[in-house]
Structure 1
Amino acid sequence: MTESQLSGRCLCGAVTLTVQTDTPRLRACHCNMCRQHTSGMFISVDTVPGTLEVSGPAQSFQSSEWAERGFCGTCGSTLWYGTIEDGARHPAAGLFDGAALGEMTLEFFADECPQGYALAGNHRKLSTAETIAMFSGGDA
């Protein structure tokens, strides 16, 4: 696989991000917190771990015991979902031109997806129980 660099920015341009990716694969989360934070599902782009670089007035909010949500301190754009224990940050796909062209590969909390929309395609859809098992060390 060939790595490529993606460059992105928030709505106002105050925060810029660069990241390496093998393929811009997309993942969606339908949990209550993601829906409350974004008014819909949160879609992240899969990246090479440890390659995310952020500059500008980025801030984060610890939304649970295990997670944080990044946002621009100027315009409020959603920047990432992060796991506190390992420091991983999963950047919002919409920040990167062309990242939305990536293939949807995984949905978290698929059983919590509102009836008003559904994602097309044949990809893995994890239930709430399967998602929690995956993040708690189970092998969902």
Structure 2
Amino acid sequence: MDATTLYECLWLRSAVFNGEQQCTEPDLDGRELEPTTVLVWASVDGHPVGTLRILDDDDHIVIGRVVVDDDHRGLHIGRRMLDLALELACAADKEITLHAQSYLENWYGDFGFVVTGPHFDEAGIDHVPMTLGR
């Protein structure tokens, strides 16, 4: 990933999380700097329109920061990115978790994720913990 693509991915995340969704916490947390972090993105005309990240937290994998630009939603970009993320994450042979925004619980459920705890507030948005059932 070149610097321009990284910048555009991070800008997209900020636009969605901090702008559109008005998250109460900054998006950037330094985890992109970890050597095991993987960023997945989808591009249209050479510019990212969706992105997510995969974190290796020793005993499990965390998929997060999943966003698709509002002009490109409904085109299955998120589904294709998550399919790729699961392919990459499953290779690690570890538990795969995520914190889903509550309105996306059923969407993640379609991939095999199951709810593993109560709803909670994260950055001012209702979330639910989920783990991939295998």
Whether the TM-score (by the shorter chain) exceeds 0.5 is no
Q: How high is the TM-score relative to the length of structure 2? A: 0.30
Give 1 or 2: higher helix fraction. 2
Q: How high is the TM-score relative to the length of structure 1? A: 0.30
